[in-house]
Amino acid sequence: MGTTAEKVPERRIRISAGQVSATAVLHQSPTAAAIWSALPIEARANTWGDEIYFSIPVKAALEKDAQEVVQLGDLGYWPPGTAFCIFFGPTPTSHGDEIRPASAVNIVGKVQGDPKAFKQVADGAKIVIERA
């Protein structure tokens, strides 16, 4: 018997909005686990530059590794708005090409494939997150 840590199953999700559907993987973090437990979630998309965000029924605090600048395709949780965020380009507070949320977010996952497909999602579009 080895002493390797038990492998935690990958938490794959599908995010669908209008004609856009993408698969993503949630990280192993307290906030990501809370989101996984709350699935499926249905909401209306809000757009803010190249970010989609919407309130979800999850309450979580800012984690110690929260980020003020994120990467293309990151999925975040924004505690002040209890919001799930999809980052696919610069926002109104970005400097240059960086991707900057309104304030720090917990990074909860990553879109698989091209996150820029979310540019096609209109403000107010129905968005669904479910287990894949």
Name the phi and psi angles at 119, rounded to 5.
Answer: -60, -25
Question: What's the CA gap between 63 and 83, in Å, rounded?
Answer: 15
Question: What's the CA gap between 111 and 34, in Å, rounded?
Answer: 18
Question: What's the CA gap between 42 and 23, in Å, rounded?
Answer: 16
What is the predicted pLDDT for the residue at 4? 54
What is the predicted pLDDT for the residue at 8? 72
What domains can be seen in the chain, in order of their start residue? 11-131 (2.40.100.20)
* 101 close to 70: Cβ distance less than 8 angstroms: yes
From first to last of its 132 residues, what are the pLDDT tens digits of the chain? 444 556 778 999 999 998 999 999 999 999 999 999 999 999 999 999 999 999 999 999 999 999 999 999 999 999 999 999 999 999 999 999 999 999 999 999 999 999 999 999 999 999 999 999
pTM of the entire predicted model: 0.93
Q: Give the Å distances, CA to CA, from 54 to 2, 9, 48, 97, 129.
A: 44, 27, 11, 23, 11
What is the predicted pLDDT for the residue at 31? 98
Amino acid at 123: D
What is the predicted pLDDT for the residue at 40? 98
